[in-house]
Structure 1
Amino acid sequence: MSGEVPPNINIKEPRWDQSTFVGRANHFFTVTDPRNILLTNEQLENARKVVHDYRQGIVPAGLTENELWRAKYVCDSAFHPDTGEKMILIGRMSAQVPMNMTITGCMMTFYRTTPAVLFWQWINQSFNAVVNYTNRSGDAPLTVNELGTAYVSATTGAVATALGLNALTKRVSPLIGRFVPFAAVAAANCINIPLMRQRELKVGIPVTDENGTRLGESTNAAKQAITQVVISRILMAAPGMAIPPFIMNTLEKKAFLKRFPWMSAPIQVTLVGFCLVFATPLCCALFPQKSSMSVTSLEDELRDSIQRSHPELRRVYFNKGL
């Protein structure tokens, strides 16, 4: 679309209808675009300036609507929606596919020995800790002690799960053994995400009305947000960790990989990457980013406060995080 940009575009919201799965999927295919991690600081700051100026009613000459939306998504890919801070590079959603395909591919290739399990589960949980912290909901920071406790607990849980499952699968077929990394990742997500976002469970996350007016902080909203993220993350990992084992189990019986065994890791990484390109945005889209819940489902004190000040309000909204 070309021509002058209309002054009434609501760029606080995504470009596509977020009440539908297709609209959310289009949104997250843009948010998780790996090309965004290649953008320079200058490009990121320029995008933020375009978005900021437009919100103030300043429209640069020649700016098109497509360029405005591109600036919005570039800005959203790098700056936290609640704090406005520039996010850690590897923690951004645009880094999910390249980082996860590399780590997951290696986890699934080097799963037979204890040192390999320890190393790659540690790498994976360290990466997950960065992602979970970077994409937390709300603007309440974790203390150093809380961050350290969460990281150690999540990493220990993941490693213990992987080693325990490895021990149990010694007597079963090699194909079953290939699914140990997925079981460990699923269990670790149930530990890592709540721990990295424990402050939200203690003090709550901001809830607003449909216009964005802040009404208070809710721990019940935090529980719903974290549950949705855990489900999304487990399902996000499933295709890349469930489909390649069948393919690799077949390929490793062929002459090619017997002759060139070092090709196993690159092939597995590529297979995982192909799955993640689609699984990442589609699973992020399972639940609306701007989630909502009934006012009656809030904590008693917050519910009563809202019903006194906004008696007509039925639902509140919050950023669930990613």
Structure 2
Amino acid sequence: MAETAAAAAAAEAASAETPPFQLGKPRFQQTSFYGRFRHFLDIIDPRTLFVTESRLKEAVQLLEDYKHGTLPPGVTNEQLWSAQKIKQAILHPDTNEKIFMPFRMSGYIPFGTPIVVGLLLPNQTLASTIFWQWLNQSHNACVNYANRNATKPLPASKFIQGYLGAVISAVSIAVGLNALVQRANKFTPATRLLIQRFVPFPAVASANICNVVLMRHNELEEGIDVLDSDGNIVGSSRIAARHALIETALTRVVLPMPILVLPPIIMSVLEKTFLLQSRPRLLLPVQSFVCLAAFGLALPLAISLFPQMSEIETSQLEPEIALATASRTVVYNKGL
């Protein structure tokens, strides 16, 4: 009897902590960094990778029932928030189509960590440098495409152009910096090795900007849809598209900082310990764990810099859009 009462009290407390459900709205406030951080922790939750097709259909149907006021009795706010989390993690917000698992934000860490480990391997050859930079930018290009603002179609030529631009810039910068380090005779071998470990960051950061700008350049030409407070499309804005690309590009620069800077520093310290010196086979597993931890920290921090559905004042947009609505502000999907 006491256990039943305790369970009921716990359920009631959990229900009290759960905010009232709002369809299409984030569970946590997006006006603060902490709120966005908690929101994106939900978005990148890798457990959503294992959601079955039937569970996805149930979640979508539950949200449809809520939308049309036909919810079954007894459905809680927690169940509705959970259903929306599943839908947002798997389906694209603009197309409502399933995102391929390795390119979902929830799959970015599990599928991206092996690539980060490869980028940070010591004593890279020319071939291995090119391979890991190519693989990283291929993954990034697909993630950018899968999570883009899809209110306007992206021609295949634009995708290929952005992909090739990112790969060429990443490989050129990485190979060029490695060559400079190798020719720097004043560095000791140990210092040269340490500097080489930091080479991936400028290469990846520069290529990430190229990747975003080239792959989404058509948004600057055609604009992206902006919506009023009721979710109605007000118009297509090139100014909003520019804001979206700048915010996404900044995110892509911040993202690799902890991933490609912290592990080299940590590993340079750990490699001097007796454990790793006596057991060199542990080097790769330890480096993999360090990269995974850095990745897990960096991703939610970086994508929390700006809300996915960003807000902008209509007075900052094109005159025809400002005249088309009485709303003081409109929102647009920045993309991830």
Q: CA deviation at 1:147?
A: 1.6
Give secondary structure in 2 for the equivalent of 1:178.
Answer: helix
Aligned to 1:271: 290
Q: CA deviation at 1:221?
A: 0.9
Give secondary structure in 2 for the equivalent of 1:169.
Answer: helix
Q: Is the 8 A contact 1:37 1:94 kept in 2?
A: yes
Q: Provide the rounded CA distance (Å) in 1 between the counterparts of 2:209 and 2:287.
A: 25
Q: TM-score, normalised by structure 1?
A: 0.91
Look up the equivalent residue of 1:291 and give its one-letter code.
S
Q: Provide the rounded CA distance (Å) in 1 between the counterparts of 2:269 and 2:322.
A: 61
Aligned to 1:261: 280
Aligned-pair identity in percent equals 38
Q: Provide the rounded CA distance (Å) in 2 between the counterparts of 1:132 and 1:249.
A: 32
Aligned to 1:247: 266
Q: Deviations over 1:271-298 (max 9, x none)?
A: 1111222221122111122212232322
Q: Provide the rounded CA distance (Å) in 2 between the counterparts of 1:185 and 1:111.
A: 18
Q: Deviations over 1:106-163 (max 9, x none)?
A: 2101562111111111110110011000110132222222222221121111111111
Q: Is the 8 A contact 2:89 2:106 kept in 1?
A: yes
Q: Is the 8 A contact 2:229 2:327 kept in 1?
A: no
Compute the RMSD of aligned alpha carbons: 2.0
Asked if residue 221 in structure 1 is aligned to residue 240 in structure 2, the reply is yes
Q: Provide the rounded CA distance (Å) in 2 between the counterparts of 1:175 and 1:58.
A: 62
Look up the equivalent residue of 1:243 and give its one-letter code.
L
Q: Deviations over 1:144-201 (max 9, x none)?
A: 2222222112111111111111112222422121111111110111101112212212
Q: CA deviation at 1:255?
A: 4.3
> Relative contact order (C-alpha < 8 Å, sep 6+): which is higher?
1
Aligned to 1:192: 211
* Equivalent of 1:308 in 323, 328, 333: 323
The number of aligned residues is 314
Aligned to 2:251: 232
Alignment gaps of 5+ in structure 1: none
Give secondary structure in 2 for the equivalent of 1:316.
Answer: strand
Q: TM-score, normalised by structure 2?
A: 0.88
Alignment gaps of 5+ in structure 2: 1-10
Q: Provide the rounded CA distance (Å) in 1 between the counterparts of 2:60 and 2:197.
A: 44
Matches of residues 174-213 of structure 1 in structure 2 within 5 Å?
174-213=193-232
Q: Is the 8 A contact 2:37 2:304 kept in 1?
A: yes
Give secondary structure in 2 for the equivalent of 1:12.
Answer: coil
Matches of residues 7-156 of structure 1 in structure 2 within 5 Å?
9-110=21-122, 112-156=124-168
The change in CA–CA distance for 1:111 and 1:313 in structure 2 (over 3 A counts) is farther
Q: Provide the rounded CA distance (Å) in 2 between the counterparts of 1:99 and 1:113.
A: 23
Aligned to 1:295: 314
Asked if residue 321 in structure 1 is aligned to residue 335 in structure 2, the reply is yes
Q: Is the 8 A contact 2:234 2:324 kept in 1?
A: no
Q: Provide the rounded CA distance (Å) in 1 between the counterparts of 2:93 and 2:113.
A: 26
* Stretch moving more, 222-231 or 255-264: 255-264
Q: Is the 8 A contact 2:37 2:300 kept in 1?
A: yes
Give secondary structure in 1 for the equivalent of 2:29.
Answer: coil
* Stretch moving more, 168-177 or 154-163: 168-177
Q: Provide the rounded CA distance (Å) in 2 between the counterparts of 1:62 and 1:295.
A: 41
Q: Is the 8 A contact 1:240 1:271 kept in 2?
A: no
Q: Is the 8 A contact 1:97 1:273 kept in 2?
A: yes
* Stretch moving more, 184-193 or 242-251: 242-251
The change in CA–CA distance for 1:309 and 1:198 in structure 2 (over 3 A counts) is closer
* Equivalent of 1:165 in 170, 177, 186: 177
Q: Provide the rounded CA distance (Å) in 2 between the counterparts of 1:105 and 1:168.
A: 23
Q: Provide the rounded CA distance (Å) in 1 between the counterparts of 2:309 and 2:274.
A: 51
Q: Deviations over 1:237-273 (max 9, x none)?
A: 2112111111211223344434443432222221111
